[in-house]
């Protein structure tokens, strides 16, 4: 981490987390972020569901909800970006405060509730970005047909993105996770895939799942994802669990992300890799090269992070990518794809 980034992070921690997040995006757009571009090598070069990425370290949805900092983020070390979640209509989300730092746990709790500018504004910004980017699809809280919202956003934004993620796993929109049930999920994905087929350029479509699914729920998700022809699964979103936390804000409602999620999300990832051959993207608690490598060896073809940036800054991405390259070299892997699933047994 550069000296400037260290100072910036200290200053941001003096204000409330949501304000700090907004300031961080403004600083990025002012040119104060990393500018080295994606880290890459023969070992790091990654192909997932037909997508070609310079490295397997991605930005998770939620950091740039409204696609306002794409050009700046494209100059960082990330191999790929995902923005959103986007809903058909703009919505304010839940009342503030709704984001909490858990510094002692290297974690965060949020209950944003899909606050975003709506698909029209987001699509306009995506159309101006020349690089590849994925979009997280969401549903409006007051929608009469939440399942249809996902297809609506895909239809509007699809021409401007390289992949889409169906997000039915956020815990912050009431009853949204009910859409992970087998019948409801199948119906929802049918609509999404019909909309995708109608695009001039159909996209890889991923499904983002919760870490709190039981064995039956996980098996159902894997079965439906295959049946519907999805391109992969992102495991996982935030958790409702609160085990072992020590920070003052540990009792806040919302989804927990960061280091406490690493074990649970990685176990879910490993179990899922035994249920399907679909490509998996591992999310949850990635904050070091070793943790990114562990996700890959548990079954992930790529990983994403967000909460670790609160504590390590965007310079952390370069460290993780270069560190992962070194770990792959140490263990004799010619490419990251060769390491996928080689440590799955450690998590089962």
Which sign does the torsion angle of CA 325, 59, 215, 241 carry?
positive
Distance (Å, rounded) from C-alpha 242 to C-alpha 260? 8
Are 61 and 83 contacting, i.e. CB atoms less than 8 angstroms apart? Answer: yes
Distance (Å, rounded) from C-alpha 140 to C-alpha 232? 24
The pair phi, psi for residue 276, each rounded to 5°, is -155, 155
DSSP-derived 3-state class of residue 101: strand
Query: Which of 162, 170, 231, 265 is labelled catalytic?
Result: 170
Which residues neighbour 220 within 8 Å (Cβ) at sequence distance 6 or greater?
Answer: 181, 182, 185
Distance (Å, rounded) from C-alpha 269 to C-alpha 119? 30
Distance (Å, rounded) from C-alpha 207 to C-alpha 90? 22
**DSSP code, position 187:** H
Are 146 and 179 contacting, i.e. CB atoms less than 8 angstroms apart? Answer: yes
Distance (Å, rounded) from C-alpha 188 to C-alpha 307? 29
DSSP-derived 3-state class of residue 96: coil
Residue closest to 60 by CA, chosen among 267, 221, 284, 232: 284
Are 8 and 315 contacting, i.e. CB atoms less than 8 angstroms apart? Answer: no
Q: Strand locations in 259-348, DSSP E?
A: 280-283, 302-305
DSSP-derived 3-state class of residue 147: helix
- Annotated catalytic residue 2: no
How far is the CA of 247 from the CAs of 13, 47, 97, 235, 237, in angstroms?
15, 39, 17, 25, 21
Question: Active-site residues: which are they?
Answer: 170
């Amino acid at each position: 981490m550069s000296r400037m980034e260290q100072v910036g992070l200290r200053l941001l921690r003096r204000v409330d987390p949501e304000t700090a997040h907004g300031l961080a995006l403004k600083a990025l757009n002012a040119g104060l972020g990393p500018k080295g571009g994606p880290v890459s090598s023969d070992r790091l070069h990654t192909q997932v569901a037909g997508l070609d990425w310079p490295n397997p370290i991605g930005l998770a949805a939620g950091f740039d909800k409204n696609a306002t900092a794409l050009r700046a983020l494209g100059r960082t070390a990330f191999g790929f970006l995902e923005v959103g979640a986007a809903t058909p209509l703009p919505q304010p989300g839940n009342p503030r405060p709704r984001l909490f730092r858990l510094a002692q746990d290297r974690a965060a709790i949020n209950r944003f509730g899909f606050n975003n500018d709506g698909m029209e504004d987001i699509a306009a910004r995506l159309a101006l970005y020349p690089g590849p980017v994925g979009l997280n699809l969401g549903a409006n809280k007051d929608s009469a047909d939440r399942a249809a919202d996902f297809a609506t956003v895909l239809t509007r934004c699809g021409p401007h993105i390289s992949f889409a993620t169906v997000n039915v796993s956020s815990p912050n929109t009431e009853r949204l996770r009910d859409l992970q049930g087998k019948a409801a999920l199948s119906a929802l994905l049918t609509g999404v895939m019909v909309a995708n087929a109608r695009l001039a350029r159909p996209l890889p479509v991923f499904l983002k799942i919760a870490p709190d699914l039981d064995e039956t729920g996980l098996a159902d998700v894997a079965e439906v994802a295959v049946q519907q022809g999805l391109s992969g699964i992102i495991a996982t979103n935030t958790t409702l669990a609160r085990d072992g936390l020590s920070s003052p804000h540990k009792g806040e409602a919302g989804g927990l992300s960061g280091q406490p999620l690493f074990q649970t999300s990685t176990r879910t990832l490993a179990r899922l890799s035994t249920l399907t051959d679909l490509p998996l993207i591992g999310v949850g608690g990635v904050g070091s090269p070793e943790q990114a490598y562990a996700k890959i060896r548990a079954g992930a073809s790529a990983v994403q992070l967000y909460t670790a940036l609160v504590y390590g800054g965007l310079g952390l991405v370069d460290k993780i990518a270069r560190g992962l390259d070194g770990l792959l070299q140490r263990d004799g892997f010619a490419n990251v794809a060769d390491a996928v699933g080689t440590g799955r047994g450690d998590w089962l």
